[in-house]
């Protein structure tokens, strides 16, 4: 999980990651900490033989 998801994401308690960092001194830090829905996507696991996407992803 990246820092953005750890900070914004509702599904993770990110307080420990930011403990002792200057960001905690910002007025808005607690206002946004773990208050938003975050979608995590990775493209590192795309099969090597995948050269192009099927036409269904690019309708005319």
| Phi and psi angles of residue 3, each rounded to the nearest 5 degrees, phi first | -65, -35
pLDDT of res. 2: 81
Which residues, other chains included, contact 8 with Cβ-Cβ below 8 Å and sequence gap of 6+?
Answer: 32, 33, 34, 35, 36, 38
- Is the pTM higher than 0.95? The answer reads no
Q: Which tens digits make up the pLDDT trace of 11-59? A: 888 888 888 999 888 989 989 899 998 887 777 776 667 666 666 555 5
How many helices (H) and strands (E) in the chain?
2, 0
User: Position of tokens 């996507």?
Assistant: 41
Query: Cα–Cα distance between 60 and 13 in angstroms, integer?
Result: 43
Domain boundaries, the chain: 1-60
């Amino acid at each position: 999980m990246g820092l953005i998801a750890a900070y914004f994401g509702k599904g993770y308690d990110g307080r420990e990651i930011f403990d002792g960092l200057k960001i905690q001194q910002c007025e808005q830090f607690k206002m946004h900490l773990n208050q938003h829905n975050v979608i995590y996507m990775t493209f590192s696991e795309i099969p090597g033989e995948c050269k192009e996407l099927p036409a269904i992803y690019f309708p005319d």
